[in-house]
A and B are shown apart, each in its own frame.
Chain A
C-alpha cells in the first residue's frame, strides 16, 4: 500500500508570513494528491488537489507543487491569516485499491 510521510508535525508562523508543508509518497504510480484542512470539531475538508499531469496548481493564497521524480508534493499558504490555523493533511492513493492514505498531519498556528 501507499506510505505517506508529512513534515513538519507542527508549524507556527506570524500572520502574513508563508507556510509550507511537505509530503513524500512511496507508490510511484500514484496520480492524485489532495490536501485537507481539519478545524477543531469538524471533519477534514478538501482545500486543493493536484493530478500527476501538472506540476503546480494555485487557488488564491493556496498552492500545491508536485515533483513526481522525487515523489514529493508540498502545500504553500501565502499571506497567512488567523483562520488558516488548523490541522492539514496530505494524502495519496494506492494504485492497487485506490484508497487514500493520509499523512500524520501538520498543526499550523498563525500568530497574530
Chain B
C-alpha cells in the first residue's frame, strides 16, 4: 500500500459531463502529481502541486483543471468530457517539490460513453 488514496475507483459518465477525481497524498508528502494513462499514450504528466501552489504543468487540456487544498488533498476536474478522455487517472505524491520517489495511488478509471 503506497499510502496514496484515490476516489472513486471507477467512474462512468456521458460525453459533455463534468467529473471530479479526488486524491489524498501520503502522510507528510507536500507534492501531488496527476498522470493520465491510456492504452496508446502511456503515462502522461498532467500537473503538479506543491503545498497548495501549482508547480509544473504538462499536456493538460484547458477543459481540465486541478487544485490542492490546505489539507493537501487534491482534486482533478474534467469538464466537457469527450470519448477520448476515457483513461486511468493516477495521482502520485512525494515529499519534495523537485523530483525524487513518487508514490502512486491505484487510480480512477474513467469511462466516457
Interface of B with A (CB < 8 Å)?
2, 4, 33, 42-43, 45, 48, 55-56, 58, 90, 92, 97-107
- Assess A105 versus B58: contact at CB under 8 Å? Given A49-B101, A100-B102: no
The segment from A12-20, A38-46, A64-72 found at the interface with B is A38-46
- Assess A44 versus B58: contact at CB under 8 Å? Given A89-B43, A102-B42: no
Residues of A within 8 A of B100 (CB): 32
CA distance A93 to B42 in the complex (A): 16
- Assess A101 versus B45: contact at CB under 8 Å? Given A34-B101, A34-B102, A46-B102: yes
The closest CB in chain B to the CB of A41 belongs to B106
Interface of A with B (CB < 8 Å)?
32, 34, 36, 41-46, 49, 89, 93, 97-105
Residues of B within 8 A of A98 (CB): 56, 97-99
CA distance A93 to B48 in the complex (A): 13
The closest CB in chain A to the CB of B45 belongs to A99
| B101 pairs with A43, CB closer than 8 A | no
How distant is B73 from chain A, measured CB to nearest CB, in Å?
A: 17
The closest CB in chain B to the CB of A4 belongs to B42
CA distance A105 to B40 in the complex (A): 11
How distant is A54 from chain B, measured CB to nearest CB, in Å?
A: 16
How distant is B61 from chain A, measured CB to nearest CB, in Å?
A: 17
- Name the residue in B43, B48, B58, B104 with the highest tally of chain A Cβ atoms < 10 Å from its Cβ: B43
How distant is B56 from chain A, measured CB to nearest CB, in Å?
A: 4
| B98 pairs with A42, CB closer than 8 A | no
Residues of B within 8 A of A100 (CB): 33, 45, 99, 102
How distant is A67 from chain B, measured CB to nearest CB, in Å?
A: 20
| Residue from the list A46, A99, A105 in contact with B103, Cβ < 8 A | A46
For the complex with contacts A44-B104, A101-B45, 10 further pairs of A-B residues with Cβ separation under 8 Å are A32-B100, A36-B104, A43-B2, A44-B90, A97-B56, A98-B97, A98-B99, A99-B56, A100-B45, A105-B43
